[in-house]
Structure 1
């Protein structure tokens, strides 16, 4: 796992400032503390920070083809590289290393832009072909690895694994995109391809960007998508057997490493499945890492220990205090953009623990999206049945009225918390799902934003992100549609972003066997009834793992990786929340309704409502403003000045 960065002159062969490229590269040292390298020639500069995982002695980057006309910097792993090497050798290519990186340059020579279709892995890379005068950027199918880019007004293209490398250049304008702010307060992250800054973009999942020197601006191009055909009617026993085999293959590929390797173990179904299958593939005890919370309501350590004992793993568990909230500013600096998933705190801690014992850790991330595990999937399917029973011309006015008048009863038993259900019933499927996953739903965002900011949005709603993806989903199956939406939004913008930054902060490589694209494709051919059956999510996965895991691991209620925000904001973080949410930094933007901000704080801290998630979202936005937006630019540092509020 590494960090990449670079500068490309799209107009000609102007000199690349080596000091600037070095600064951009060093801003990502945490991603690759082992080695650093640069390639600089007329009009092109590539930078790389290396975390050595495979071919420790000869896998340095930038890496070249035989005549050094093709150069690559690469972040990630090509898991099937050992299969591709003999195929490329048969085509006449000569290998000088044992690294998966060298496969990329020869695959480019052999197959051009289609090379990415041959790669099975997680990757973001930049490749310069001098003979074709072409820069080629690529990102893996499910966006496990990040890649940002920005075209500056002077024609220089910047790119990097993290936004901080682009900011380190000094030429990127820090103008905030209002549409990104709307997406953040709806979803808790800024959705691909947008970033918080107007001038910068994320390369979307399964996309490439090919730019020939002197040519007009290029557009990102998709090379893959998942299609939910649902057309493979397997018997349950046969589906279980095939799933077990595909899981073993995916995990086996991800156990290739020349450094210590282990796994996260939370005690949930997904991580327990990965550990169980790893144990069957390893001749040595598996290294496992988990964290325990001192608050029993959030502690799964006993379940993790049960799996560790069953498979005789080398288990490491750290106790994390339930008041572990001193990471707020650190997380803001780490993520570079506003990011509001509070499970970033325990994720950061478990990566910190794992790095003390291993360099590579396998995770269970992606299991809910791939196998149908979220509780919201079952709720959505129940609502879909009700929506199907009533025409929309009747549903919208009836349930719209009920949603408006029914109180927000956070204090009540779940069966009485019907406001969200009523609001969802008044909408179509895509609108309802967006509504259900929003942190601040539409009416709350209307109250949160000032009149001035709403005018800047010009009617834009983050719901447009979901509508755009839904048009490409090519399915009318209710479960398949929302799985597709999650694969394009939540998995990419939230889960993968969280794990990448938290792991890279500790120079830890995390691999994702449940996000293997061939496994995802295969699962998309199976009927939805094998994913959610009645009120049971992950139906097929649990049946397949029944011989390997105890019933209380497979069928206990999902706990999640949560922290006690509601208690924090009424207790130890009471004053900090009030100062941040009602303080001068947010007010200086002019974007927020101060009366509504005060309502959120007062109602939560009095116990009248649970606004912990909206308050955390506001708190992390304020932390972003202070720690990223207000951080001195390179020009400001040179002039001895700091930027003012924007």
Structure 2
């Protein structure tokens, strides 16, 4: 198991390979290698598993004409080697890599269809004057590519991951909005050659790319008919019988045995479900039989399980049952993922996955692989069994519709009756949801219509009434590809090789040659696997109906992680995306947390995942929205002027940049320190500072936000318990672009808490009457102008201001006096003597209010000084200004 990277094209240099290869060191920490010649470059990272001493790559053929880089394992390499030796070939190593190389030399691209295993490879072939890329039959191993040139003059880049392609700097990291839409709207991905990155594609299962080294042209084609073969085999329909079960058991056991071949320790992932448990007990049986080739397993089989004590989806009891039946031959390792760890790992997890994923479930697998890497280097698991043996409930309906369409009503009645408990469980959950009265939340209701309208032609559907055709579709397109991506990313992130015995090519072909009863019989899915392991597995697993697998208790975690999720949804970057309506998302999330809607957490996960993916891969070269833009004390904010005329008098304003204020900040000394910094800038400070030192009058204007924050009158939205009244009343308030005022349930609740619901309702009624009479502002005349100063969470703000609701500051006149005293104490006598006092200001897109001051200026003059809000917002971080009256 390794990682590969490379290029083809004019103007590309070997130094590019090192940049690409450095991105996938985790895939192969045991070595690296490079090859370049002309327009071709190949790079390799090695995770040594088989023939550790001699399997280095790039591997060059004996005549030097063929060069291979290869990621994967071909499990039938010994049989292929024997066949090649019979044709007169000799081998220098014991590695499967050399077998792959010589098989290609002997048979060309026809060799790929002979391989039974997993691979992503590149072959430079001087004899045939071509470069060939290929991916295994099921797509277990990835192979991404992009053309940074043109069709006429390509610059092809390829790698086992997307990061190396982006690291070249030749391909821009831009979103593929079609794939993004399909992911958000239909909850699908990995169902085509396209990725979430515009211009970055992948070879599909069973595909190869052939590049003509002379002309530079390339084409993609299938090297196998496996998908078609499975469809043809499905027509055979060998009757289900004990002999069939025994033959399946033999083939399945052999698929596991050949995947235990390794020179490094091998273990097993054990979720507690039927599939992984079947792998574990089969290995245990091989150990008891002293089968050959099990040296890498050791004296005891290491198993790794994710457990969630007391969670609804905990499978520990099933894993324990599988462990117990192995009677002491297991060294069990239990991993307990937590929401706290998930929060800490989220950045790395998103980067590991490279593209958005359906739910947070693969994080459980991430945690298992992280721990397993401390004990083993190879890990077997049960991936793929669901997609070939109808492991999900929708497959039952496809089968029943098939029976109805074929007119086989007797079998239809028997299967429907045998599956009643499955349908009852599903119906019970749906009925409970319907009777709860909770409104549903669809992704479509959260996305912006002007964006989704671009994709009206997109659709998604499944094969409705043919069981095996549905399974084939899911194996190669609709379901398994995404699961294999998770498998590859999670294992390789921790330098592990994941092996999937259910995806043995010959086992799959045999299964599809059997009648449908091998898949579903008498209401039992995976019937042949249940029967093949009967007596080896405890009955509670063999007869288990519910499926969970490696996943997380997402609903529980999202409640515990609400602060983190709110911060993302309320961030400036989330607000600025063109894809979703932030206010609708926030409302839906708040209602979900309070039990007022029946939203699926996967809706919120997809939004969260896309935002974090943008930050990691798309926005990474841009300044983050929460970074303060550097500005001197002596210049205006962008788009603002230093000078302004108020009531016939001219004033010059200097906005001071500060650190972000928090509840713990001591307001007066902090403010005084920034004012002192301005004057300490002499002689580089503007002449106003010198004139002030000589006696010219000047003033300090401070935003009410920092006053409220430091007084503890700023409340994170996740701490505000919204009442039904606040939710209803806020809907009738006009929402401003900045999110200011009572247009959110949180700010309305804070207003209710401050003055009481009766006064709010009275003011609302008076407002309606006032509007009918042509009067505005009646609401605040009744409720009090301190409520007018309530600020909602504003997406462009820094620190707590972006996700908090703020009340008006207490005693703003007293605050102004305290600030003035602190400023005078901090400055030289001249500047202190000419200081005219402080004003606490509330300015937004609705107007300017002088909340309190101790100056000698009339309030209308102060308001006029501030009418264009010179302090700016957000990343300017300028919550105060020094104001100097001009001659």
TM-score normalized by the length of structure 2? 0.62
2:590 paired residue number:
602
Q: Answer yes or no: is the 8 Å Cα contact 2:191–2:477 preserved in 1.
A: yes
1:303 paired residue number:
318
2:553 paired residue number:
564
2:383 paired residue number:
365
2:205 paired residue number:
205
Q: Answer yes or no: is the 8 Å Cα contact 2:306–2:365 preserved in 1.
A: no
Q: Answer yes or no: is the 8 Å Cα contact 1:174–1:629 preserved in 2.
A: yes
Q: Answer yes or no: is the 8 Å Cα contact 1:16–1:42 preserved in 2.
A: no
The 1:132–1:231 alpha-carbon spacing in structure 2 relative to 1, beyond 3 Å, is closer
Give secondary structure in 2 for the equivalent of 1:293. Answer: coil
The 1:483–1:599 alpha-carbon spacing in structure 2 relative to 1, beyond 3 Å, is farther
Q: Which of 62, 67, 76 does residue 66 from structure 1 map onto?
A: 62
1:477 Cα offset (Å): 5.6
Whole-angstrom distance in 2 between the partners of 1:306 and 1:340: 30
Superimposed CA distance per residue, residues 523-549 of structure 1 (whole angstroms, 9 cap, x where no aligned partner):
111122221124321112111211211
1:606 Cα offset (Å): 1.9
The 1:411–1:480 alpha-carbon spacing in structure 2 relative to 1, beyond 3 Å, is closer
1:156 paired residue number:
155
Unaligned stretches of 5+ residues in structure 1: 390-409, 420-440, 471-475, 634-644
Q: Answer yes or no: is the 8 Å Cα contact 2:240–2:517 preserved in 1.
A: no
Q: Which of 597, 617, 620 does residue 609 from structure 2 map onto?
A: 620
Q: Which of 318, 330, 333 does residue 314 from structure 1 map onto?
A: 330
Whole-angstrom distance in 1 between the partners of 2:446 and 2:208: 37
1:448 paired residue number:
446
Q: Answer yes or no: is the 8 Å Cα contact 1:183–1:190 preserved in 2.
A: no
| 1:96-495 → structure 2 map (5 Å cutoff) | 96-153=92-149, 155-185=154-184, 186-213=186-213, 214-226=215-227, 227-228=230-231, 229-282=234-287, 283=290, 284-311=299-326, 312-323=328-339, 324-326=341-343, 327-382=345-400, 413-414=428-429, 416=431, 444-457=442-455, 459-463=456-460, 466=461, 478-495=466-483
1:482 Cα offset (Å): 1.9
2:73 paired residue number:
77
Give secondary structure in 2 for the equivalent of 1:372. Answer: coil
Q: Answer yes or no: is the 8 Å Cα contact 2:255–2:504 preserved in 1.
A: yes
The 1:307–1:449 alpha-carbon spacing in structure 2 relative to 1, beyond 3 Å, is same
Q: Answer yes or no: is the 8 Å Cα contact 2:149–2:156 preserved in 1.
A: no
Give secondary structure in 1 for the equivalent of 2:352. Answer: helix
Q: Answer yes or no: is the 8 Å Cα contact 2:306–2:334 preserved in 1.
A: yes
Q: Answer yes or no: is the 8 Å Cα contact 1:77–1:123 preserved in 2.
A: yes
Unaligned stretches of 5+ residues in structure 2: 291-298, 408-424, 435-439, 623-795, 797-887
2:566 paired residue number:
578
Q: Answer yes or no: is the 8 Å Cα contact 1:298–1:561 preserved in 2.
A: no
Whole-angstrom distance in 1 between the partners of 2:99 and 2:520: 39
Q: Answer yes or no: is the 8 Å Cα contact 2:173–2:617 preserved in 1.
A: no
Give secondary structure in 2 for the equivalent of 1:579. Answer: helix
1:103 Cα offset (Å): 1.3
Q: Which structure: larger Rg?
A: 2
Give secondary structure in 1 for the equivalent of 2:307. Answer: strand
2:3 paired residue number:
3
The 1:33–1:219 alpha-carbon spacing in structure 2 relative to 1, beyond 3 Å, is same
Superimposed CA distance per residue, residues 519-578 of structure 1 (whole angstroms, 9 cap, x where no aligned partner):
1111111122221124321112111211211111111232332222222223x2112222
Q: Answer yes or no: is the 8 Å Cα contact 1:261–1:360 preserved in 2.
A: yes
Q: Answer yes or no: is the 8 Å Cα contact 1:16–1:41 preserved in 2.
A: no
Whole-angstrom distance in 2 between the partners of 1:370 and 1:452: 40
Give secondary structure in 1 for the equivalent of 2:133. Answer: strand
| 1:13-92 → structure 2 map (5 Å cutoff) | 14=10, 16-92=12-88
Give secondary structure in 1 for the equivalent of 2:16. Answer: helix
Give secondary structure in 2 for the equivalent of 1:116. Answer: helix
The 1:594–1:384 alpha-carbon spacing in structure 2 relative to 1, beyond 3 Å, is farther
1:460 Cα offset (Å): 3.4
Give secondary structure in 2 for the equivalent of 1:487. Answer: helix
Whole-angstrom distance in 2 between the partners of 1:567 and 1:66: 59
Whole-angstrom distance in 1 between the partners of 2:571 and 2:397: 38
The 1:559–1:344 alpha-carbon spacing in structure 2 relative to 1, beyond 3 Å, is closer
Q: Answer yes or no: is the 8 Å Cα contact 1:163–1:336 preserved in 2.
A: yes
Bigger drift between 65-74 and 315-324 goes to: 315-324
Give secondary structure in 2 for the equivalent of 1:122. Answer: strand
Q: Answer yes or no: is the 8 Å Cα contact 2:267–2:379 preserved in 1.
A: yes
Whole-angstrom distance in 2 between the partners of 1:586 and 1:313: 51
Whole-angstrom distance in 1 between the partners of 2:172 and 2:357: 20
The 1:534–1:314 alpha-carbon spacing in structure 2 relative to 1, beyond 3 Å, is closer
1:422 paired residue number:
none
Superimposed CA distance per residue, residues 370-406 of structure 1 (whole angstroms, 9 cap, x where no aligned partner):
22221222244456678999xxxxxxxxxxxxxxxxx
Whole-angstrom distance in 1 between the partners of 2:119 and 2:508: 17
Whole-angstrom distance in 2 between the partners of 1:85 and 1:209: 25
Q: Answer yes or no: is the 8 Å Cα contact 1:288–1:313 preserved in 2.
A: no
1:423 paired residue number:
none
1:435 paired residue number:
none
1:427 paired residue number:
none
1:424 paired residue number:
none
1:268 Cα offset (Å): 1.3
The 1:205–1:462 alpha-carbon spacing in structure 2 relative to 1, beyond 3 Å, is farther
Bigger drift between 518-527 and 202-211 goes to: 518-527
The 1:122–1:582 alpha-carbon spacing in structure 2 relative to 1, beyond 3 Å, is same
Higher relative contact order (CA 8 A, sep 6+): 1
Give secondary structure in 1 for the equivalent of 2:442. Answer: helix
1:637 paired residue number:
none
Q: Answer yes or no: is the 8 Å Cα contact 2:325–2:538 preserved in 1.
A: no
Give secondary structure in 2 for the equivalent of 1:297. Answer: coil
1:221 Cα offset (Å): 2.9
Whole-angstrom distance in 2 between the partners of 1:35 and 1:297: 44
Q: Answer yes or no: is the 8 Å Cα contact 2:124–2:131 preserved in 1.
A: yes
Counting matched residue pairs gives 577
Give secondary structure in 2 for the equivalent of 1:76. Answer: strand
TM-score normalized by the length of structure 1? 0.84
Give secondary structure in 2 for the equivalent of 1:549. Answer: coil
Whole-angstrom distance in 2 between the partners of 1:386 and 1:238: 29
1:37 Cα offset (Å): 0.6
Bigger drift between 522-531 and 58-67 goes to: 522-531
Give secondary structure in 1 for the equivalent of 2:525. Answer: coil
Whole-angstrom distance in 2 between the partners of 1:381 and 1:606: 39
Q: Answer yes or no: is the 8 Å Cα contact 1:48–1:62 preserved in 2.
A: yes
Q: Answer yes or no: is the 8 Å Cα contact 1:255–1:261 preserved in 2.
A: yes
